Amino acid sequence: MANKVILVTGGSRGIGAATAQLAAERGYAVAINYVSNRDAAEEVAENARKAGVKAITVAADVSKEEDILRMFATVDKELGTLSALVNNAGILDRQARLEDISAERINRVLIANITGSMLCAREAVKRMSTRHGGRGGSIVNLSSMAAKLGGPGEYVDYAASKGAIDAFTIGLAKELAAEGVRVNAVRPGLIYTDIHASGGEPGRVDRLKDAVPMKRGGTALEVANAILWLASDEASYATGTFIDISGGR
């Protein structure tokens, strides 16, 4: 693992933070992307360094192409050749029905969740693909069970963005399969993270957990374990693959 470099977008909290920490414990040098909470990102980086690896933080808004270009240039300079990208950064808005959702909100969610992931993947491909002189690599996209369930009455815009991530994962996996780059995705279900507070209901997991066959919410670490498996050589014959981390829902 000495030369493995991983970039985790949205790495300052929740699933992203758990993924960055686990990657560090498995020997990756880690780049932790964040938008505004530098202190939280630095805390994740400091914990990662305790595993004996190099860890950096990179501020970038993935809804802005110029920020993405700068982020990848920083990783190139400070950590070296990228081995894995975890497209974790994403947003949702307050719970609402479609008739109460504005065009501005829809566009903001779609740009951050879809365009941002696609542009980050584009930059990773330029560095990983054997077609571009790279040594191969892995991209893991964060989808959601909302892509299958639809998010009715709460987040149909978010759910639609994750449905797009599913289609993107399949297409890019096929596009890159002969170029040494694997593309897979994880679909988390009800997971205890701060994203539910962003939607206006911090206790959402506890409200809905009885609808899950396992009768509980999941943890960020349980999702991170799936992400790191897909990123690793243990998943060397897996591309275009989805792992649902949803307690059976």
Q: What is the pLDDT of residues 49-85, one digit of tens each?
A: 999 999 999 999 999 999 999 999 999 999 999 999 9
Listed by start position, the domains of the chain span: 5-245
Tokens 């981390």 belong to residue: 245
Q: How confident is the model at residue 195 (pLDDT cuts 50, 70, 90)?
A: confident
The CATH homologous superfamily to which domain 5-245 belongs is NAD(P)-binding Rossmann-like Domain (3.40.50.720)
Q: Are 110 and 157 in contact (CB under 8 A)?
A: yes
- Active-site hit among 28, 34, 158, 192: 158
Task: Convert the pLDDT of each residue in 209-246 to its tens digit.
Answer: 999 999 999 999 999 999 999 999 999 999 999 999 99
Q: How far is CA 204 from CA 201, 210, 238, in A?
A: 5, 11, 33
> What is the rounded CA–CA span in Å between residue 198 and residue 220?
16
Q: Please say if 155 is a catalytic residue.
A: no
Q: Average per-residue pLDDT in the chain?
A: 96
The tokens describing 56, both together, are 């950096």
Amino acid at 204: R
What are the φ and ψ backbone dihedral angles of 94, each rounded to 5 degrees? -60, 145
Q: Are 180 and 128 in contact (CB under 8 A)?
A: yes
